[in-house]
Structure 1
Amino acid sequence: MTTLGIVYDKFLSPSFAGGGAVHAYEVTIRFKNHFKIIYYPTSPVLVWDKEVVKRKAKELESQGIRIAGEFYEILEEREKISRIKRFLFADKIAREFSKGYKVDADILYQPDHTSLDIFYLARDTKYGITFHVPPFYNDSLRYLRRLIKFYGVNPYTGKGFHTRFLYNEYVKFLYKRLLKKEVKNEPTFLAGVSEAPLIESGLKGEVIKPGNAFDPFLMNYRNKGKEDYVVFWSRLNQDKGFHELPDILHMMEKRSGNKIRLVVMGKFFDRYNERRFWSKVRKYDLKVEYKGFVKREELAEIVSRAKVLIYPSHVDGFSLVVLESLALGTPVVAYDIPAIKSIYGGLESVSIVNEFDKESMVENALRFYKMNEREIEEIMNGEKLMEFLKLHSSWDNVADAVLKIIKKYL
């Protein structure tokens, strides 16, 4: 049987590591039926507590995923590092960390690209990478212009669009070097969970279709009635446009002449942006209900009864938030970033407006908000959407799509 080496770090994360980690786990577990799996944890694990990492590693092995034996030796030899050090010296740390492994695989695969280790691990081995977000933005000037509009500057830390831009240029330099002749072996294939990571980075590769899936239990919450509120949930940071929500809600109220309740779920990225958000809420005298980080069942119940999800995100590679909202029977208004256009374009249940065009977002959000339950259900149960949801309701479909790409290059 062919040996597949999984190169990744987030399986050992001490906390929930996001949609990319869910994708990586669900696909890897299904690969056990097709390959002999060896897992090679990567250098970002050095940020976490060693004992926690060891415990998570043992839990993973109990599920039938064999971890490369050298990993425990490497972990003992290496000291825990700070996030800042990992941020500043990611390339050097990845190079040194990878030297501890003796790779014994026919092909290496990184299901969610979060570190540079694979470039050094694949010294004499075929390897492929899947991107869930762009590794970098290739059009520097366009990226800078967009950053200035949605990222801003945190006066307490000094970080902002300028530091984000400089980091992008540094990462772009690294990748351009690594993808050419700096490493012995160039990638066998690159892939994206949508077209977006490849379009934004200017890289060529395969597109996984379907790139992600939702838990079918969400479908049980559909068609159970709607209430008069709008919803937003995601990471509460600038990338997801959450600081634009008060402006959008205020404009909706002015245009409709009525108070509109917004329910927000998720964790604030930092205190500055949290204060900034609530300052706008008070300024406009808005009706905002903040739920924080809620359990899946409660989230499903809240989203399913909302009239519309307002999602002014500027950074996404696929958006599980949008997918899950559709599964729950709630329409969406979103900006026309590549991930949204490539995955959800053409669906009546997703209104896509020009990025930063708040007026159009307000107009389309109100269109859904003013619909009665029967009208919303008619849209949310249309044949095209139901076929779309059927395709994206099984991780087996995602794993099969990735498997097809890997076998193409074996």
Structure 2
Amino acid sequence: MKILAIGNVFNPSGVSVHIINVLKELVKMGDEVTLYVPSFLVRNNDEILKDLEKAHVNVYHSVYEVKEGEKTSTLSYFIKSHTVYLRWNDLGEDIKYIDGLKEIKPDVIYDMHEDSITLRLSYHIARKIERPLVKLLHDEPFRNSFGRGYRKFLGVKGLAYDTLMWVFYKFDKMAFIRSINDGILKGIAGVSKAPFYLSRIDEIAKGLRLRVYEVGNAFNKEIIYKYRRTKGKENYAVFYARLVPQKGIRELPKIAGLLDEKIIVFGKFFNERDKRLLTSNPKIEYRGYRPIEEVYDTVGRAKVLIYPSHQDGFSLVALDTLALGTSIVAYDIPAMRFVFSNLKPVKIVKEYDVKSMAHTANSILKMKDEEYESEHSEDNVRKFLELHSSWANVAKETHDFLSEFL
């Protein structure tokens, strides 16, 4: 099967990790894969591209030719990315390359993002070369609710953000409706049930094939199991993720104040205010953006991950942490509930309830070694980890779903 994949491999996120690993595994399975990165997402990082080519993933020549544009403000990109429906035929620099993509002769086009801004591009590519388009959801592409709940932890600024999102979600939804009604978008997959649940996209998906992958993400067993430990844990908590409000960093100081032990934090800050908020707290030890081996070693020794995330599709942070043998306390958001809630080492508390999160974390910190190890040794935990210990399992589901459109 020839696959034209539309994806951003440059963003330091779980989405890029998914894209890179799945494309490599699809090639191992015998698929011919070509990666096209939209021009507005191209970054100067040939190392990533060379790594993909070493794994026999074809990188379309435009990804090398397009120069990284000047950085736009977050607000500017935010507005542009959510209003593409109003400029549906404005393809920017990508318009120069669409005709050339015909030469690849793909069997299917796989847009590996939930965004409407990549949907606009993949829509035009699919229409031009007359091939089925399949979309992958990590997070929800839109919601029917009022915003994303940012007003609850960002105050007035969050209310403004939620109001904008309420409007922009209408445009995002219209982009999907157009792609469906025009007969271009043929299928939608999700890394978990969460994006379907939050968007209720099945209500507009007339005649589309929908699929929730059983194995939406995976962890790197060869690296992680070097640092896995379920006994001899040390009494501290840990947090690592993108250090943004969506991941709960504004609540982290409050949680730290209620914890019996310190929280070690890894990650990259995106503004000075959040950095001051965390680094000024005596119960938080910020170690910066460190090599992944150092992070895994620290997480593997920790007794609990504090994970007050408000936004996820299928958390690689939670998956890696569980594989490292460390327990988790997380908010009851759909992604955590649908993927992890039946696993004893993963404790779920009500969203925004920092007291319950701290109380539950303290209970884990006080847990006896025998009980702690017993929870991590349960059959369903072992089976879950085995299933998610290989990206080949994710790629197999991807291959099988895409094959349905041939």
Residues 18 and 168 (structure 1), Cα distance of their counterparts in 2 relative to 1, 3 Å cut = farther
Q: Is the 8 A contact 1:265 1:290 kept in 2?
A: yes
Indicate the residue corresponding to 2:246 in structure 1. 239
1:307-318 matches, cutoff 5 A? 307-318=303-314
Q: Could you tell me the percent identity over the aligned residues?
A: 33
Query: Can you give the 5+ residue segments of structure 1 that lack an aligned partner in the other structure?
Result: 154-158, 254-259
Q: Is the 8 A contact 1:21 1:112 kept in 2?
A: no
SS at match of 1:325: helix
Q: Is the 8 A contact 2:39 2:63 kept in 1?
A: no
Q: Is the 8 A contact 2:219 2:319 kept in 1?
A: yes
Worse overlay, 106-115 or 195-204:
106-115
Q: How many residue pairs were aligned?
A: 379
1:11-410 matches, cutoff 5 A? 11=9, 13=10, 17-32=12-27, 33-45=29-41, 48=43, 52=44, 57=49, 60-69=52-61, 75=66, 80-84=69-73, 86-90=77-81, 91=84, 92=87, 95-100=91-96, 101-102=98-99, 103=102, 104-114=105-115, 115-116=118-119, 117-123=121-127, 124-140=130-146, 143=147, 146-152=149-155, 160-163=158-161, 165-167=163-165, 169-180=167-178, 184-204=182-202, 205-216=210-221, 217-220=223-226, 221-253=228-260, 260-279=261-280, 281=281, 286-410=282-406
Instruction: Quote the offset at 1:351 in angstroms.
Output: 0.8
1:276 partner letter: L
Residues 380 and 106 (structure 1), Cα distance of their counterparts in 2 relative to 1, 3 Å cut = same
Indicate the residue corresponding to 1:257 in structure 2. none
2:264 partner letter: V
Q: Distance in 2 between matches of 1:128 and 1:97?
A: 23
Query: What do the CA deviations read for 1:177-221 (whole angstroms, capped 9, x no partner)?
Result: 343269844311111111111111221331111100011132232
Q: Is the 8 A contact 2:257 2:283 kept in 1?
A: no
Q: Is the 8 A contact 1:45 1:53 kept in 2?
A: no
Residues 54 and 313 (structure 1), Cα distance of their counterparts in 2 relative to 1, 3 Å cut = closer
Q: Distance in 1 between matches of 2:79 and 2:390?
A: 39
SS at match of 1:332: strand
Q: Is the 8 A contact 1:99 1:121 kept in 2?
A: no
Instruction: Quote the offset at 1:262 in angstroms.
Output: 1.4
Residues 165 and 193 (structure 1), Cα distance of their counterparts in 2 relative to 1, 3 Å cut = farther
Q: Distance in 2 between matches of 1:67 and 1:94?
A: 24
Instruction: Quote the offset at 1:135 in angstroms.
Output: 1.8
SS at match of 2:251: helix
Residues 44 and 160 (structure 1), Cα distance of their counterparts in 2 relative to 1, 3 Å cut = farther
SS at match of 1:151: helix
RMSD: 2.5
Q: Distance in 2 between matches of 1:181 and 1:5?
A: 18
Q: Distance in 2 between matches of 1:67 and 1:304?
A: 36
Q: Is the 8 A contact 1:208 1:401 kept in 2?
A: yes
Q: Is the 8 A contact 2:24 2:52 kept in 1?
A: no
Residues 182 and 27 (structure 1), Cα distance of their counterparts in 2 relative to 1, 3 Å cut = closer
Q: Distance in 1 between matches of 2:45 and 2:166?
A: 29
Worse overlay, 387-396 or 81-90:
81-90
Q: Distance in 2 between matches of 1:148 and 1:70?
A: 41
Q: Is the 8 A contact 1:135 1:197 kept in 2?
A: yes
Instruction: Quote the offset at 1:119 in angstroms.
Output: 2.0
Instruction: Quote the offset at 1:131 in angstroms.
Output: 1.2
Residues 223 and 57 (structure 1), Cα distance of their counterparts in 2 relative to 1, 3 Å cut = closer
1:294 partner letter: R
Indicate the residue corresponding to 2:205 in structure 1. none
Instruction: Quote the offset at 1:265 in angstroms.
Output: 1.1
Indicate the residue corresponding to 1:5 in structure 2. 4
Query: Can you give the 5+ residue segments of structure 2 that lack an aligned partner in the other structure?
Result: 203-209
Structure 1 runs of 4+ with >3 Å offset: 53-63, 67-73, 84-90, 181-186
Residues 60 and 252 (structure 1), Cα distance of their counterparts in 2 relative to 1, 3 Å cut = closer
Q: Distance in 2 between matches of 1:332 and 1:133?
A: 21
Instruction: Quote the offset at 1:338 in angstroms.
Output: 0.3
Query: What do the CA deviations read for 1:8-52 (whole angstroms, capped 9, x no partner)?
Result: 2x23x2xx5211111111111122233222222213235x3xxx3
Q: Distance in 1 between matches of 2:376 and 2:46?
A: 45
Query: What do the CA deviations read for 1:260-279 (whole angstroms, capped 9, x no partner)?
Result: 22111111221112223345
Q: Is the 8 A contact 1:314 1:337 kept in 2?
A: yes
Q: Distance in 1 between matches of 2:179 and 2:220?
A: 42
Q: Distance in 1 between matches of 2:52 and 2:211?
A: 29
